[in-house]
Structure 1
Protein backbone atom coordinates (compact mmCIF):
# COMPACT_ATOMS: atom_id res chain seq x y z
CA UNK A 1 0.00 0.00 0.00
CA UNK A 2 1.31 3.47 -0.90
CA UNK A 3 2.25 5.79 1.97
CA UNK A 4 -0.12 8.62 2.82
CA UNK A 5 1.68 11.90 3.40
CA UNK A 6 0.18 15.23 4.48
CA UNK A 7 1.76 18.49 3.31
CA UNK A 8 1.57 21.82 5.09
CA UNK A 9 2.76 25.40 4.53
CA UNK A 10 3.65 28.01 7.16
CA UNK A 11 2.97 26.78 10.69
CA UNK A 12 4.26 29.96 12.39
CA UNK A 13 4.51 28.14 15.72
CA UNK A 14 0.76 27.51 15.97
CA UNK A 15 1.11 23.88 17.00
CA UNK A 16 -2.31 23.71 18.70
CA UNK A 17 -3.97 24.69 15.42
CA UNK A 18 -1.73 22.38 13.38
CA UNK A 19 -2.49 19.35 15.54
CA UNK A 20 -6.23 20.12 15.59
CA UNK A 21 -6.21 20.23 11.77
CA UNK A 22 -4.09 17.06 11.46
CA UNK A 23 -6.43 15.24 13.85
CA UNK A 24 -9.47 16.33 11.84
CA UNK A 25 -7.97 15.32 8.49
CA UNK A 26 -6.71 12.05 9.95
CA UNK A 27 -10.24 11.19 11.19
CA UNK A 28 -11.98 12.11 7.93
CA UNK A 29 -9.47 10.86 5.34
CA UNK A 30 -6.70 9.06 7.24
CA UNK A 31 -4.78 7.49 8.64
CA UNK A 32 -1.71 9.32 7.36
CA UNK A 33 1.88 8.19 7.82
CA UNK A 34 3.71 11.53 8.10
CA UNK A 35 3.41 15.31 7.76
CA UNK A 36 5.88 17.41 5.74
CA UNK A 37 5.98 21.13 6.55
CA UNK A 38 7.49 23.79 4.32
CA UNK A 39 7.42 27.47 5.12
CA UNK A 40 8.16 29.11 8.44
CA UNK A 41 7.72 26.48 11.15
CA UNK A 42 8.71 28.61 14.15
CA UNK A 43 6.63 31.48 15.60
CA UNK A 44 6.86 34.93 14.03
CA UNK A 45 6.03 36.75 17.27
CA UNK A 46 7.15 36.31 20.90
CA UNK A 47 3.57 35.88 22.19
CA UNK A 48 3.32 32.52 20.36
CA UNK A 49 6.58 31.15 21.76
CA UNK A 50 5.12 29.67 24.98
CA UNK A 51 2.58 27.51 23.09
CA UNK A 52 5.32 26.33 20.74
CA UNK A 53 7.84 25.57 23.50
CA UNK A 54 5.25 23.64 25.54
CA UNK A 55 5.29 20.98 22.78
CA UNK A 56 9.08 21.06 22.30
CA UNK A 57 9.77 20.74 26.04
CA UNK A 58 7.07 18.10 26.63
CA UNK A 59 4.89 20.32 28.85
CA UNK A 60 1.85 20.04 26.56
CA UNK A 61 -0.75 17.34 27.21
CA UNK A 62 -0.83 16.72 23.45
CA UNK A 63 1.88 14.95 21.47
CA UNK A 64 2.61 14.83 17.77
CA UNK A 65 0.44 11.94 16.51
CA UNK A 66 2.62 11.17 13.47
CA UNK A 67 6.16 11.95 12.34
CA UNK A 68 6.51 15.62 11.33
CA UNK A 69 9.44 16.78 9.17
CA UNK A 70 10.04 20.49 8.63
CA UNK A 71 12.20 22.98 6.78
CA UNK A 72 11.91 26.71 7.39
CA UNK A 73 14.37 26.82 10.26
CA UNK A 74 13.99 30.45 11.32
CA UNK A 75 11.66 32.56 13.43
CA UNK A 76 11.32 33.32 17.14
CA UNK A 77 13.04 30.60 19.17
CA UNK A 78 14.56 28.79 16.20
CA UNK A 79 18.25 29.33 17.05
CA UNK A 80 17.85 28.12 20.65
CA UNK A 81 15.77 25.03 19.78
CA UNK A 82 17.86 24.03 16.78
CA UNK A 83 21.21 24.61 18.49
CA UNK A 84 20.10 22.43 21.40
CA UNK A 85 18.89 19.70 19.01
CA UNK A 86 22.12 19.76 16.98
CA UNK A 87 24.14 19.17 20.19
CA UNK A 88 21.94 16.30 21.39
CA UNK A 89 23.92 13.03 21.40
CA UNK A 90 21.21 11.26 19.37
CA UNK A 91 21.73 13.77 16.56
CA UNK A 92 25.51 13.49 16.27
CA UNK A 93 26.99 12.30 12.99
CA UNK A 94 25.74 12.62 9.43
CA UNK A 95 21.94 13.09 9.45
CA UNK A 96 20.05 13.16 6.16
CA UNK A 97 16.70 12.13 7.64
CA UNK A 98 16.43 14.99 10.09
CA UNK A 99 17.57 16.05 13.52
CA UNK A 100 15.18 14.87 16.22
CA UNK A 101 13.76 17.90 18.07
CA UNK A 102 11.34 15.94 20.27
CA UNK A 103 9.02 12.94 19.91
CA UNK A 104 7.88 12.71 16.24
CA UNK A 105 9.37 16.11 15.23
CA UNK A 106 12.37 16.29 12.86
CA UNK A 107 14.26 19.25 11.41
CA UNK A 108 15.60 18.87 7.86
CA UNK A 109 18.79 20.97 7.89
CA UNK A 110 20.56 22.33 4.81
CA UNK A 111 20.05 19.84 2.00
CA UNK A 112 19.74 16.12 1.70
CA UNK A 113 17.86 13.06 0.53
CA UNK A 114 16.20 10.36 2.59
CA UNK A 115 13.62 7.61 2.25
CA UNK A 116 10.25 8.13 3.91
CA UNK A 117 7.99 5.07 3.80
CA UNK A 118 9.56 4.13 0.46
CA UNK A 119 9.33 7.63 -1.05
CA UNK A 120 12.51 9.45 -2.05
CA UNK A 121 12.46 12.91 -0.43
CA UNK A 122 14.98 15.62 -1.33
CA UNK A 123 15.11 18.99 0.44
CA UNK A 124 16.83 22.37 0.48
CA UNK A 125 16.11 24.35 3.62
CA UNK A 126 16.62 28.08 4.15
CA UNK A 127 17.87 31.02 2.10
CA UNK A 128 21.26 31.21 0.39
CA UNK A 129 24.19 32.44 2.46
CA UNK A 130 27.91 32.47 1.63
CA UNK A 131 28.76 30.13 4.50
CA UNK A 132 25.45 28.77 5.93
CA UNK A 133 26.73 29.19 9.48
CA UNK A 134 23.45 30.53 10.81
CA UNK A 135 20.11 28.79 11.05
CA UNK A 136 17.73 29.39 8.18
CA UNK A 137 20.45 29.38 5.52
CA UNK A 138 22.08 27.03 3.04
CA UNK A 139 25.40 27.30 1.24
CA UNK A 140 26.73 26.54 -2.22
CA UNK A 141 27.91 23.20 -0.76
CA UNK A 142 24.27 22.31 -0.07
CA UNK A 143 23.35 23.12 -3.69
CA UNK A 144 26.32 21.10 -4.98
CA UNK A 145 25.18 18.14 -2.85
CA UNK A 146 21.73 18.35 -4.45
CA UNK A 147 23.28 18.43 -7.93
CA UNK A 148 25.17 15.25 -7.09
CA UNK A 149 21.92 13.64 -5.86
CA UNK A 150 20.17 14.66 -9.11
CA UNK A 151 22.84 12.86 -11.14
CA UNK A 152 22.26 9.59 -9.29
CA UNK A 153 19.98 7.04 -10.96
CA UNK A 154 16.50 6.73 -9.51
CA UNK A 155 13.39 8.75 -8.99
CA UNK A 156 12.89 11.67 -6.64
CA UNK A 157 9.31 11.59 -5.42
CA UNK A 158 9.24 14.84 -3.43
CA UNK A 159 11.40 17.97 -3.45
CA UNK A 160 10.88 20.33 -0.51
CA UNK A 161 12.17 23.87 -0.52
CA UNK A 162 11.24 27.29 0.85
CA UNK A 163 11.18 30.23 0.21
Structure 2
Protein backbone atom coordinates (compact mmCIF):
# COMPACT_ATOMS: atom_id res chain seq x y z
CA UNK A 1 0.00 0.00 0.00
CA UNK A 2 1.03 3.56 -0.71
CA UNK A 3 2.05 5.58 2.35
CA UNK A 4 -0.27 8.44 3.23
CA UNK A 5 1.10 11.88 2.34
CA UNK A 6 2.28 14.01 5.22
CA UNK A 7 -0.26 16.81 5.57
CA UNK A 8 -0.19 19.82 7.89
CA UNK A 9 -3.33 21.82 8.55
CA UNK A 10 -2.49 25.51 8.83
CA UNK A 11 -4.64 28.45 9.87
CA UNK A 12 -3.78 32.03 8.97
CA UNK A 13 -5.17 35.03 10.83
CA UNK A 14 -4.94 38.71 10.01
CA UNK A 15 -4.62 41.71 12.30
CA UNK A 16 -5.86 41.31 15.87
CA UNK A 17 -4.38 44.55 17.32
CA UNK A 18 -3.70 43.01 20.71
CA UNK A 19 -7.25 41.77 21.19
CA UNK A 20 -6.18 38.21 21.94
CA UNK A 21 -9.30 36.72 23.51
CA UNK A 22 -11.47 37.00 20.34
CA UNK A 23 -8.59 35.64 18.25
CA UNK A 24 -8.16 32.64 20.55
CA UNK A 25 -11.92 32.06 20.65
CA UNK A 26 -12.02 32.02 16.84
CA UNK A 27 -9.01 29.68 16.64
CA UNK A 28 -10.72 27.30 19.08
CA UNK A 29 -13.94 27.35 17.03
CA UNK A 30 -12.15 26.63 13.74
CA UNK A 31 -10.00 23.97 15.43
CA UNK A 32 -13.15 22.26 16.72
CA UNK A 33 -15.19 22.49 13.51
CA UNK A 34 -12.50 22.06 10.81
CA UNK A 35 -9.62 20.55 12.76
CA UNK A 36 -7.53 19.23 13.99
CA UNK A 37 -5.28 22.12 13.06
CA UNK A 38 -1.51 22.00 13.55
CA UNK A 39 -0.55 25.66 13.76
CA UNK A 40 -1.80 29.24 13.31
CA UNK A 41 0.17 32.14 11.84
CA UNK A 42 -0.96 35.67 12.61
CA UNK A 43 0.26 37.68 9.64
CA UNK A 44 -1.32 41.04 10.42
CA UNK A 45 -0.51 43.46 13.22
CA UNK A 46 -0.54 41.26 16.30
CA UNK A 47 0.11 43.60 19.21
CA UNK A 48 -1.20 47.10 19.74
CA UNK A 49 0.00 49.92 21.93
CA UNK A 50 -3.58 51.19 22.27
CA UNK A 51 -4.81 47.78 23.45
CA UNK A 52 -1.99 47.17 25.93
CA UNK A 53 -4.49 46.80 28.80
CA UNK A 54 -6.18 43.90 26.99
CA UNK A 55 -2.84 42.19 26.49
CA UNK A 56 -1.54 42.70 30.03
CA UNK A 57 -3.13 39.66 31.76
CA UNK A 58 -2.02 37.35 29.00
CA UNK A 59 1.50 38.70 28.75
CA UNK A 60 1.92 38.65 32.53
CA UNK A 61 0.90 35.10 33.28
CA UNK A 62 -0.45 33.38 30.17
CA UNK A 63 -4.00 33.52 31.52
CA UNK A 64 -5.47 33.25 28.02
CA UNK A 65 -4.70 29.92 26.37
CA UNK A 66 -4.49 29.03 22.70
CA UNK A 67 -5.42 25.49 21.61
CA UNK A 68 -2.68 25.24 18.98
CA UNK A 69 0.76 26.81 18.50
CA UNK A 70 0.42 30.42 17.34
CA UNK A 71 3.29 32.21 15.61
CA UNK A 72 3.29 35.95 14.98
CA UNK A 73 5.31 38.80 13.51
CA UNK A 74 5.30 42.22 15.14
CA UNK A 75 7.52 45.12 14.22
CA UNK A 76 5.74 48.18 15.56
CA UNK A 77 4.33 47.50 19.02
CA UNK A 78 6.34 49.12 21.82
CA UNK A 79 3.95 47.45 24.30
CA UNK A 80 5.43 44.13 23.26
CA UNK A 81 8.96 45.15 22.29
CA UNK A 82 10.04 47.22 25.32
CA UNK A 83 9.71 44.51 27.99
CA UNK A 84 11.39 41.85 25.82
CA UNK A 85 14.08 43.68 23.81
CA UNK A 86 16.87 42.90 26.28
CA UNK A 87 16.23 39.14 26.14
CA UNK A 88 18.83 37.13 24.29
CA UNK A 89 17.73 36.27 20.76
CA UNK A 90 14.70 38.58 20.86
CA UNK A 91 15.27 39.95 17.37
CA UNK A 92 15.35 36.40 15.98
CA UNK A 93 12.19 35.32 17.76
CA UNK A 94 11.27 33.80 21.11
CA UNK A 95 8.70 31.74 22.94
CA UNK A 96 6.41 34.18 24.75
CA UNK A 97 4.39 31.56 26.62
CA UNK A 98 2.92 28.12 25.93
CA UNK A 99 1.71 27.96 22.32
CA UNK A 100 2.64 31.60 21.61
CA UNK A 101 5.79 32.29 19.62
CA UNK A 102 7.22 35.58 18.34
CA UNK A 103 9.07 34.95 15.07
CA UNK A 104 10.63 38.37 14.61
CA UNK A 105 9.80 41.86 13.50
CA UNK A 106 9.54 41.17 9.79
CA UNK A 107 9.18 38.30 7.41
CA UNK A 108 11.71 37.47 4.72
CA UNK A 109 14.67 39.86 4.68
**TM-score (structure 1 length as normaliser):** 0.55
Secondary structure of 1:57's aligned partner: helix
Q: 1:93 to 1:77 in 2, by over 3 A?
A: closer
The match for 1:56 is: 59
1:84-120, CA deviations, whole angstroms, 9 ceiling, x for partnerless residues? xx51xxxx45986x31111111111256xxxxxxxxx
Structure 2: unaligned runs, 5 residues or longer: 1-5
Greater RCO, 1 or 2 (C-alpha within 8 Å, sep 6+): 2
TM-superposed CA distance for 1:26, in Å, is: 0.7
The match for 2:3 is: none
TM-superposed CA distance for 1:44, in Å, is: 4.5
Larger of the two Rg values belongs to structure:
1
- Larger strand share, 1 or 2: 1
Secondary structure of 2:67's aligned partner: coil
The count of residues paired between Structure 1 and Structure 2 equals 104
TM alignment of 1:1-163, pairs within 5 A: 1-45=6-50, 48-58=51-61, 60=63, 62-83=64-85, 87=87, 92=88, 98-110=93-105, 123-124=107-108, 143=109
2:13 and 2:43 in contact (8 A); partners too: yes
Distance in structure 1 (CA, Å) of the matches to 2:89 and 2:103: 14
- Pairwise CA RMSD of aligned residues? 2.4
